[in-house]
Homo-oligomer: A and B are copies of this chain.
Amino acid sequence: MPPLRVVVPAGGIGAARFLTGLLPALAVTAPGSHVTVIGNTADDITMFGLRVSPDLDTVMYTLGGGIHPEQGWGRADETFVVKDELAAYGVQPQWFGLGDRDLATHVARTSMLGAGYPLSEVTATLGSRWLPANVGLLPMTDDRVETHVVVDDGPSTRAIHFQEWWVRHRAALPARRIVLLGVEQARPAPGVLDAIGEADVVLLAPSNPVVSLGPILSVPGLRDAVRAARAPVVGVSPIVAGRPVRGMADACLRAIGVPTTAAAVAGLFADILDGWLVDSSDEAAVEEVASLGVACRARPLLMSDVTATAAIASAALDLALAAGA
């Protein structure tokens, strides 16, 4: 097969793992292919004055072999000297566990942002240390978009940053609403719309549909570009047998009143999808998804190792090429 230009809207851990399978799958079936990852930046947070981009970093570290293998986020061989020192100063918050290696990325990022470089250029610079030559990593936007979660506060409610809800409260506070601050004013980062327009295949990574893929597709113009793209668009369900493969997507889906099922999540993206992969255990969902006008196949979706993950990516590519034919 000739080389493909593949675009992958991507959240953090799940997407990063998917990419570790996509790259070998492409190397086998379409050598010379190029992957543009469009990363979610709505989880980004300024912590201790440092700009943290968790999803971009997870993709970068994972593809560059720097990721903490068991955790799936943060750096391998991490130390926590700075975190302990900040705690000794009483600096708040203390629930955000920044490792020293990871922190260096944020220091470098913050320093470059402070010098006036947009996030997309900063990400390219940081990525040059980690990313394979055939992978580009673009933030969805250079503008500030932040996911906030509206939670109960006595008889009233209050909005907290997504990271506070996710990391500090482990998504255990019921989310009444999820708000994307700043998204209306955001513009796609340079290169994003071009990559989508020129893509041969668009693959939605198995990411949180509400707080990862949701924000990416909410950047004005981005969802329209995907819908209008000549490339087939195929997604991999992040929900298997009624539960998120990883993370707490169920808590997010509940907040927007969507059932935690592979078919319901397909419904969120039906307007842009040509195909959708569900897990073998969700075989029953295939027909329901097809009724949305989305070609659907059931395959084992557990990304247990690179081989299994490459098979999933391969199945997604097959479905895309079938749907695009």
Write the residues of chain A forming the contact surface with B, with a CB cutoff of 8 angstroms. Answer: 48-50, 79, 81-86, 88-91, 100-101, 103-105, 107-108, 110-111, 114, 125-126, 129
A contacts with B: majority SS: helix
Chain B contacts for A85, CB-based, 8 A: 100-101, 104-105
Give the residue of B48, B105, B114 whose beta carbon is less than 8 angstroms from that of A108: B48
**CA of A104 to CA of B82 in the docked complex: distance in angstroms?**
5
Partner of A82, one of B49, B84, B86, B103: B103
Cβ-defined contact, A48 with B88, below 8 A? no
Identify which of B48, B50, B90, B108 contacts A89 (C-beta below 8 A): B108
In the complex, besides A48-B108, A88-B104, 8 extra interface pairs with C-beta distance below 8 angstroms are A48-B107, A81-B104, A82-B104, A85-B104, A86-B104, A86-B107, A89-B104, A100-B100
Contacting pair A49 B101 (CB below 8 A): no
CB distance from A231 to the nearest CB of B (A): 33
Q: Give 6 nearest A-B pairs by CB, closest first.
A: A85-B104, A49-B111, A81-B100, A82-B104, A48-B111, A49-B114
Can you name 28 A-B residue pairings with CB atoms under 8 Å?
A48-B107, A49-B110, A49-B111, A49-B114, A50-B107, A50-B111, A79-B79, A79-B100, A81-B100, A81-B101, A81-B104, A82-B82, A82-B100, A82-B103, A84-B104, A85-B100, A85-B101, A85-B104, A85-B105, A86-B104, A88-B104, A89-B104, A89-B105, A89-B126, A91-B111, A100-B100, A103-B107, A107-B107
Cα-based distance from A82 to B81 in the complex (angstroms): 10
Q: Choose one: B84, B88, B108, B125; the contact of A129 (CB below 8 Å).
A: B88
**Cα of A50 to Cα of B108 in the assembled complex, Å:** 10
Q: Is the CB of B79 within 8 A of A108?
A: no
CB distance from A164 to the nearest CB of B (A): 17
Chain B residue with the shortest CB-CB distance to A129: B89
How many angstroms from the CA of A48 to the CA of B82 in the assembled complex?
15
| Nearest residue, chain B, Cβ from A103 | B82
Q: In the assembly, what is the distance between CA of A102 and CA of B129, in Å?
A: 26
